[in-house]
Homo-oligomer: A and B are copies of this chain.
Amino acid sequence: MHASDIVEEYPVVTLDTDVLTAARTIGEQRLPAVIVCDAEGRPHTILPSSQVLRFMIPTYVQEDPALARVYLAGPSEKLMSTLAARVVRDLLPTPQDRDSLPVVEPEATLLEVAVLMARRRSPIAAVMDGDVLLGAITVSRVLQVLLPPAPTSSPASPS
């Protein structure tokens, strides 16, 4: 079984997507991460959702938990307009080395996919066929496929 057998469609944002749209995509589709593609449609980086959250919150608020209690208690027009005015490119740290991205070929085995996600501590791996992004595989999907449910009847072992 290979990556191409279990790849699933996955939402993609670009470096020029505004941050509000990117964050809403994660929220609406309950995603563990978001794939950020460059203008050529190649993955530029893969951001776990917790990192997107980190980029959304001013550093001075992150560093002072007491501020967090008063800064924002619910949906806020101000937060949304701030996020709408910035694009994903603005949030990224120094460009990530492309080789270090959790990207696999369609021919990768499930374990190759698993090892890559484990090493990168990434909740997803992108599947690229040459220059074409086929979609992504989540950690939970790999576990679902590697570990099928126990049979409900008593398993009859041949020996």
Contact = CB atoms under 8 A, between A and B. Distances in A.
Interface of A: 1-2, 20, 23-24, 26-32, 48-54, 56-57, 61-62, 65, 68-69, 71-76, 79-80, 83, 108-112, 114-123, 138-150
A129 to B, nearest CB: 18
A1 B74 contact: yes
Secondary structure dominating the interface of A: helix
A140 B26 contact: yes
Nearest to A24: B147
Contact of A49 (B30, B123, B148): B123
Contact of A48 (B20, B26, B123): B123
A60 to B, nearest CB: 11
